Structure formats: C-alpha cells, structure tokens
Amino acid sequence: MLAAVAAALMGLAIVFAFFVAPEDADQGISQRIFYFHVPIALTAYAAFGWGAFKGLLLLWRKEERYDLESYVAIHQGTIFGSLTLLTGSIWAKASWGHWWLWSENQLVLFLVLFLFYSAYFMLRFSIEEGPRRANISAVYALFGVVLIPVSFLAIRLAENIIHPTVFTRDGPQMSGIMFLTFCIAWVAMSVLAYALYRLELLGKRLDSNLRELREALS
Amino acid sequence: MSYLADVATLARKDLRLELRARDTLPAMLLFVVSTLVVFHFALPAGADEVAAQGLLWVALLFTALLGLARAWAPERESGALEGLVLAPCDRSAIWLGKAAAVFAFLAAVELVALPAFALFFGSVDAATIAGVALASVGICAVGTLLAAMAAASRTRELVLPLLFLPLAIPLVVGGVGASISPDSGRYLAFLALYDAIFSILCWASFEYVVSE
C-alpha cells in the first residue's frame, strides 16, 4: 500500500519535473535535477534525524526495538546521502563543468556525513550484538545530528559561498509551478524513504525472529 | 566537590601509570617530531609558510590519535573498566578523568611540537597557540569518548581513526583558520563553540557507552 503510494507520487513528481515545470532561463534542462537533488538531500537529513531520535528513545526507554529502527533509518539516510552526492556531482558537472567542487558547501557537508555514517557501520558491525552495541550505536547516531550543524558552520567558515541559494529570507525565488513541482517531489521522496524504511525494518525483524526461532529449536 | 575529587583521582591514576610504564608519551613525542621531518621532505621546495600551517594540524591530529588509541588500553588489558563502572562514582567522572589525562599528554606533546614547528618551518603566532589550546580540548573530549566506543569493538585501533576524523574536520577548519586568517577571532570562537557543544554531549552520553 505504502509502496504503491510512493510509486504513484514518484511518477507524478517525474511528470511534473520534466513536462509541467517551465524550463529555467539560466540553466536550461540541467536545472530540472534540482527537483530530485534537493528533496533527496532533505530526505537524507530527515532520515539521519529520525535515526538519532530513535537512538535517543533507546537510551531513554531502554526498549530493544528502537535499536533496529535507529539503524534502519541511518541505513536509509546513508543511501539517500550517497544519492545526494551523485546527483549533486552530476549537477555540478552540467552547471560548472566539474564533477567535484569544494566550493559547493552542501556537497562537502554530505561528503563529511557520508564518511561519518560509513564509520557508523564499521563500528556497529565490529561490536558484539547486545545492549552495549545498541547503546554505542545510539550515542554515535546522536553525535551525527550534532555534527550536521557544526560541520555546516565549519564548511561555511572554510569556504566562500557560491552555491545558488534558492531559499532566502524573502521566501522561495521560484515561480508557483516550480515550487509546486518541488513540493511534490519532496513529498514523493519522503514517502519513498518511509516505504523503504518500513520494508527494511520488516525484513530485518523477520530475520531476527527467524534467528531466535532457529536458536530455540537447536 | 566529591565529583571533582573523583575526577582528579582517576586522572592521577592515569598519569602515575604513564610515569611508571612510559608507554604512550615518548611514542607520541617521537611520532610528532618524525611527522614534522617527513613533512619537510613532503613539501615541495617552493611551498609557502601557509601550506606548512596546515601540516601542523595534520601532525597534531595524528599524534593525538596515536595517544587516544592507547587511552583505554590499561583498563582493557587488566579488565579494570568493569570495576570502574561499578565504583560508587558518577560514570561521567571516568570520562572526565581520562580526558584530563589525555589532555595532559597532548599538552606535553604540543610543548615540544610547537617549538619544533617554529624551528623547522617558521614562526608560530599567538593565534595559532590559542587555536591549538582550544582544539586540544575538543580533541580530548571527543576522542576519549570515541576511544571508549572503539575499545568495545573487535577492531579497536582500526576503527578509531574512522570514527574520529570526520568529527575532527571542524577542529581543523577552526585551527587552520585561526592560524592563517587575519580575522582569527571568529575561528577561535568557533573552536570554543565546538568544545562546549561536544564536551556537554560526551559528558552526558559517556554513561551509556560503558554500561549495558
């Protein structure tokens, strides 16, 4: 059900992004990747935030199920984060002629986060399963959401800003239909991420139940 | 007051262990000087002083990693961490005591590294020294907690740099900025902000890292 809604919304977003939204005057066709790149990035942030929130719940309430939920959210966040790097890199190539630009603050931030969360998996899978691992993973996930604003500030301090700022304090600098397309794509991406999150969670839970059953039988 | 007494006792224990065994500090000192010598040969002849300023931070960061990898080794090798966790003191005091001991080692290393850097590569100004001092607090606070996480894993020394380096990137930005920017106050303020945020976070979360 959720997957069907996600697929329908994605289809709608693709139709809007390619056929309904008007061509950007400056950037032409390459601007259309914006409708995917930015929603993917926002979804990745949301997934990292969700993972940290579940981690906080784990530390607070000591319920085992939050560990898996936190892990799956961060896994999805890392997948969407890699996609952000990929789409951002394509956009940078189309707009500025380089696959990688250090002056692109958001991309650099995602690179740092990608390194940080890759280490999360290294750490998690080298600790024996149990409450200790759950606690350590949760604390590390909390570090992640603190690192996001701190790194962002650091990168801004380190570089001058040439990233096209779409949202300013004056509100979005987009025509109505472009903004609508962006919103549809954003909702579609979030629903897709949530559907994937539920799916992976279901699989992982099934897996652990099966393992427990097998241990009980043997 | 008893909290601070606990912290002081724990830090003193680490310093006394180091004085007797002399495992970590000599290694760190030798490492930082060797790194600076390597950097002399790695830097092309025409490289300017600004490039060397960045290398100072690489040297300090990796030396700190060397010390941090050994930070929980005495507890781990003798199985003393369980005892410490069960001791009737606040668990965050264990972190604070260890961080203070690591800070003492790192400060000793910097007392050698900064004059050596000035000797090999050129001057070290007051802003750089302030940056090093502020960054050291952050390195020790975050590094001690991450080292405790790494100590719980099978891979230990292998996983610590992977955990530590992404978190240390803001420290490098602040430190290098303080060294080379004319507006060093902004970068020093950023370092102080980093120290405050992450010290509070580490202090609050250490308990969960060592207990089940």
- For residue A140, CA distances in Å to A119, A208, B30, B185, B202 come to 10, 23, 32, 30, 10
pLDDT for A105 equals: 78
B-chain residues near A137 (CB < 8 A)? none
Could you report the predicted ipTM of this complex, rounded to two decimals? 0.90
Where exactly are the structural domains of chain A? 31-161
pLDDT the model gives residue A26? 66
Question: Rounded CA gap, A53 and A142, in Å?
Answer: 8
DSSP code at position A31: G
**Nearest CB to A150 within list B163, B187, B197:** B197
Amino acid at the residue A194: Y
- Residue A8, Cβ neighbours under 10 Å: how many? 12
Select the residue of B152, B165, B170 nearest A136 (Cβ to Cβ). B152
The percent of residues above 70 in pLDDT, for chain A, comes to 90
Q: What is the per-residue pLDDT for B107?
A: 96
**Mean pLDDT score, A77-104:** 87
Cβ neighbours of residue B137 closer than 8 Å, sequence gap 6 or more = B103, B195, B199
- Give tens-digit pLDDT for B160-183: 999 999 999 999 989 988 888 878
At a CB cut-off of 8 Å and minimum separation 6, what does A13 contact? A35, A181, A184, A185, A188, A189
CA distance B137 to chain A (A): 16
Q: What whole-number distance in Å separates Cα of residue A147 and Cα of residue A153?
A: 10
Which residues of chain B are within 8 Å of residue A56 when distances are taken between CB atoms? none
* pLDDT of res. B42: 86
Kindly indicate the confidence band of residue B52, based on its pLDDT and cuts at 50, 70 and 90. confident
Q: pTM (2 decimals)?
A: 0.88
Task: Flag whether pLDDT at A165 surpasses 70.
Answer: no
Of chain B, the end-to-end C-alpha distance in Å amounts to 27
